[in-house]
């Protein structure tokens, strides 16, 4: 859900059923974008699973910039997941007991 004025460069987006985990990741990703002039988030009340993310851009529509940031975040998560899976597979393929070189 988007809250804002008629100015497309600044909007507040409300994400339901979310908390600091996603909000801080989205904030970080948005702040990496040179089109973003300001980005921050707030949680209106601790007992509500709701996050408000404020995005102000230098010219592009805030909704477009948020969409791009979410796609970038998704790609980052996919990269981390595949890198971790590869590291686990590599570890499982090695023989960790022989690699330790335990002397009796």
pLDDT at res. 25: 96
Report pLDDT digits (tens) over 31-89. Answer: 999 999 999 999 999 888 899 999 999 999 999 999 999 999 999 999 999 999 998 88
Euclidean distance between CA atoms 85 and 79, whole angstroms:
10
| Cβ 53 vs Cβ 39: under 8 Å | yes
pLDDT at res. 3: 60
Euclidean distance between CA atoms 64 and 72, whole angstroms:
12
Does 98 have pLDDT greater than 70?
no
Euclidean distance between CA atoms 78 and 85, whole angstroms:
10
Q: Tokens at residue 75, please?
A: 């790609």
CA nearest 14: which of 63, 52, 68?
52
pTM of the model: 0.80
Domains in the chain (CATH in brackets) are: 10-94 (3.30.1360.10)
The strand ranges marked E within 1-104 are: 2-4, 10-16, 36-42, 50-57
């Amino acid at each position: 859900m988007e809250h804002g004025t008629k100015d497309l460069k600044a909007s507040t987006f409300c994400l339901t059923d979310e908390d600091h985990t996603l909000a801080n990741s989205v904030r970080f990703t948005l702040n990496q974008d040179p089109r973003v002039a300001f980005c921050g988030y707030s949680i209106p009340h601790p007992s509500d699973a709701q996050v408000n993310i404020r995005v102000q851009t230098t010219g592009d529509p805030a909704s477009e910039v948020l969409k791009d940031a979410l796609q970038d975040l998704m790609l980052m998560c996919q990269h981390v997941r595949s890198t971790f899976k590869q590291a686990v597979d590599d570890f499982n393929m090695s023989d960790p007991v022989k690699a330790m070189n335990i002397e009796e």
